[in-house]
Structure 1
Amino acid sequence: MDDAVLTISEFGRRAGLSQKALRLYDVSGLLAPARVDPSNGYRLYDEDQLERARRISVLRQLDMPLATITDMLAGSDEEAVIRLDRWWAAEEATTAARRATLEYLRSRLTHNGTVGLTPRPVHVREVPETKIATIRTETDQQYLVGVIVSSTSEIAAYLRSAGAELTGESWVLFHSAVTPESEGTVEICLPFTGTVDPAGPIAIRIEPAHQEAYTTLTMNECAFPRVMLAYDLVYDWARGSEHPEAGPPREIYRPDCHLLPRDEPAVDIALPILVRRN
Structure 2
Amino acid sequence: MLTISEFGRRAGLSQKALRLYDVSGLLPPARVDPANGYRFYDEEQLDRARRISVLRQLEMPLSTISEVLACSDADAVVRLDRWWAAEEATTAARRATLEYLRGRLNRTGVPELTPRPVLVRDVPETKIASIRAETNQQLLVGVIVSATDEIASYLTAAGAQRTGESWVIYHDPITPEGEGTVEMCVPFTGLVDPSGAIAIRVEPAHQEAYCTITMDECAFPRIMHAYDLVFDWVRSAGRPEAGSPREVYRPDCHLLPRDAPAVDIALPVIERTA
| Structures share fold, TM-score greater than 0.5 | yes
2:268 alignment counterpart: 272
Which of 46, 49, 52 does residue 48 from structure 2 map onto?
Answer: 52
Give 1:108 deviation, angstroms. Answer: 1.9
Cα deviation digits, residues 247-269 of structure 1 (max 9, x gap): 11100000011111211111000
Structure 1 pair 274/76, CA: closer, same or farther in 2 (3 Å)? same
1:7 alignment counterpart: 3
Question: Aligned ranges for residues 1-278 of structure 1 at < 5 Å?
Answer: 5-278=1-274
Give 1:112 deviation, angstroms. Answer: 2.2
TM-score normalised to the size of structure 1?
A: 0.96
Q: CA RMSD in A?
A: 1.0
Matched to 2:253, the amino acid is: C
- In structure 1, stretches of 5+ residues that fail to align are none
Matched to 2:45, the amino acid is: Q
- For the residue of structure 1 that corresponds to 2:71, the secondary structure is coil
Matched to 2:133, the amino acid is: T
Instruction: Write the distance in 2 (CA, Å) between the matches of 1:19 and 1:211.
Output: 59
Give 1:136 deviation, angstroms. Answer: 1.0
Instruction: Write the distance in 1 (CA, Å) between the matches of 2:174 and 2:71.
Output: 32
- In structure 2, stretches of 5+ residues that fail to align are none
Cα deviation digits, residues 19-68 of structure 1 (max 9, x gap): 10001001110001111123322111111111100000000011000011
Cα deviation digits, residues 137-190 of structure 1 (max 9, x gap): 111101000110110011111111111100131100001100111111111000
Matched to 1:139, the amino acid is: T
The number of equivalent residue pairs is 274
Instruction: Write the distance in 2 (CA, Å) between the matches of 1:61 and 1:262.
Output: 31
Instruction: Write the distance in 2 (CA, Å) between the matches of 1:271 and 1:165.
Output: 26
Structure 1 pair 223/113, CA: closer, same or farther in 2 (3 Å)? closer
Instruction: Write the distance in 2 (CA, Å) between the matches of 1:173 and 1:241.
Output: 23
Give 1:113 deviation, angstroms. Answer: 4.7
- For the residue of structure 1 that corresponds to 2:138, the secondary structure is helix
TM-score normalised to the size of structure 2?
A: 0.98
Matched to 2:259, the amino acid is: D
Give 1:115 deviation, angstroms. Answer: 4.2
User: Which shifted more, 114-123 or 251-260?
Assistant: 114-123
Instruction: Write the distance in 2 (CA, Å) between the matches of 1:163 and 1:275.
Output: 36
Provide the identity percentage. 76
Give 1:233 deviation, angstroms. Answer: 0.3
Instruction: Write the distance in 2 (CA, Å) between the matches of 1:87 and 1:193.
Output: 27
Runs of 4+ in 1 over 6 A off after TM superposition: none
Structure 1 pair 123/139, CA: closer, same or farther in 2 (3 Å)? same
